[in-house]
Amino acid sequence: MRDVAVWFSGAALAFFLTAGAFLLLASIATVPSEKSLVPEPPEAASQPAVGLKLNADQLASLRPEKDQSLDLILRNESSTPLSHVNVTLSVSSENTALSIPRYYRHVVEKLPASGTADIRFGFDLSEPEQRITGRPASEPAREILEIKATTPAGISTTKTVVLPP
């Protein structure tokens, strides 16, 4: 009986020592050094970036109707050719209670280094459904165009246009 007790005590001691040693090692190994998390700049110099150029006159001529057009120039501002660039246009209202954005998408294939591509979006800029919201009548909601170009590496460039009422 005494041998059994000694055996169990020894086994328990060995277990706790082993477990403790592992926990100590794990504790030392996993405590990260304190360091501020700095977000990666969205357009690091080594990453291919694109630029978007809009036509101010055309923006001024947009009307809250269907069948509107938006021309823009997409430019590869890096020295690396891009296999493709996704360009999206979202059209939404400043009145967020009404706003269900309309999305349009264009894919530009094979954009050479420093090359440009002309893009035309046809889109619907008519006013959304009208119903009572908390926005007073004296504050007509403006329309918002958001154009986003994304490279295969996931680098994005955004232009947001706030149109006057």
Partner 1 sequence: MAAAVLLTGCTGTEEAPIPPLAPAAGRVDPGLGPGTRALSSGPGYKGSPDWDPDGTRIAYTVDGYVVDGPTTPGESRRWTTKDFVATDTEWISDDTLTILGAASPTERGAENSLYRANAGGGSLELERIARGVLAMSPIPGEDGLIFALVTGFHGSELALTRDGGASYKTFSDNPIDGHVSALSLSPDGEKVAMAVRPPGDSETSELRTFDLRQREGREVARLQGDREILGTPQWTRRGLYFVAGKQTTALDGDGSDPLFDLYRVPADGGTPEPAPGVGEDFVASSIRLSPDKDRLIIIGRLNPNSPINLYVLDPAAKKLEAVTANEDMEIKTDPDDLAWTPDGKNVAIIARGIPSTEPEVRTEPADRLLKDFYNLYEIPIPEEAAR
The single residue among 7, 10, 11, 21 that binds partner 1, judged by CB under 8 A, is: 21
Min dist. Cβ of residue 83 to partner 1 (A): 25
CA distances in angstroms from 117 to 41, 57, 130, listed in the order given: 25, 19, 38
Give Dmax (Cα) for the chain.
98
Residue whose CB is less far from partner 1, 4 or 56: 56
Q: Let me know: does 64 contact 96? Beta carbons within 8 Å.
A: no
* Dist. CA 111–CA 50, nearest whole Å: 10
Question: How many residues form the binding site for partner 1 (CB under 8 A)?
Answer: 49
* Cβ neighbours around 87 below 10 Å, total: 22
Min dist. Cβ of residue 123 to partner 1 (A): 15
Subset of residues 103 to 142 that bind partner 1, contact rule: CB under 8 A: 131-136, 138-139, 142
Q: Does residue 73 touch partner 1 according to CB under 8 A?
A: no
